[in-house]
Amino acid sequence: GVVAAHGEVLETLNLRNNALEDDSTTCLASKLGDCKSLKRVDFGLNYVGPRGAMALADFIAANPPLQHLILLGNSIGDSGAIQFAKALKTNTILVELNLGYNRISSAGLEALLYAIYDTSSLNALTDSNHTLCYLFQQQCIEDLLRRGCDEHMLFDVDNILQLNEMNALFKHSSCKLPDWTAELPMSTLSIEQLKVV
């Protein structure tokens, strides 16, 4: 269909509010890899469950050029959130993964937190996803709290996402540190050079 016919030039695919379920989402996810210039996909307000989430997570794990994946208002649950957390470990391009109102509780949130900030070892920290800047809309926080998500964990997720966003802004700007910083006793090692082999 549309994805196959326009795959090379398609940049945005809006599938919001189309009553898509797991089977149709899985079928669509298998074709998204053919869209080499796809930057944004909106699956919001559908009936995507854990199986559909797994298919989309597999797509994300392949590190496509996609920057925005919106799944707001579906039913992926904790198992879907855990699949996306695994996919984020290998994805270095996705900036927004909107999972608000998806029946996610503390188990799913914890998996997502460890995907973006795993402090279990220095290697795990360097392998964490440092590009994702957006997971939930502010109005979704109350829903997450009602589902048993820890307020401190939500605070941690928000802080890490803000750090990722600031890092991206600094990385892509022409910012230059003031001359006086050259006199500071700082290490010149990058986070990648710190990786323990």
pLDDT, tens only, 64-105: 999 999 999 999 999 999 999 999 999 999 999 999 999 999
- The CB density around residue 4, as the number of other CB atoms within 10 Å, is 10
Residue 121 dihedral angles phi and psi, to the nearest 5°: -160, 170
| More reliable by pLDDT, 24 or 197 | 24
User: Token pair for residue 163?
Assistant: 């750090």
The residues, ordered by sequence, that sit 6+ positions from 31 with a Cβ below 8 Å of its Cβ are 3, 4, 7
Q: Which of 33-47, 67-81, 95-109, 168-182 has the lowest mean pLDDT?
A: 168-182
**pLDDT of 177 strictly over 60:** no
**pLDDT of 181 strictly over 80:** no
Predicted model pTM: 0.83
SS3 content of the chain, % helix, strand, coil (to 5): 45, 5, 45
C-alpha closest to that of 57 among 34, 79, 86, 28: 86
- The CB density around residue 166, as the number of other CB atoms within 10 Å, is 11
pLDDT, tens only, 126-145: 999 999 999 998 889 999 99
List, in sequence order, every beta strand (DSSP E) within the chain. Answer: 12-14, 40-42, 68-70, 96-98
Dihedral sign for Cα atoms in the order 21, 23, 24, 28: positive
Give yes or no for a contact between 31 and 13, defined as CB atoms under 8 angstroms apart: no
Query: What is the mean pLDDT of the segment spanning 142-158?
Result: 93
**pLDDT of 189 strictly over 50:** no
Q: Which of 44-48, 115-119, 157-161 has the highest mean pLDDT?
A: 44-48
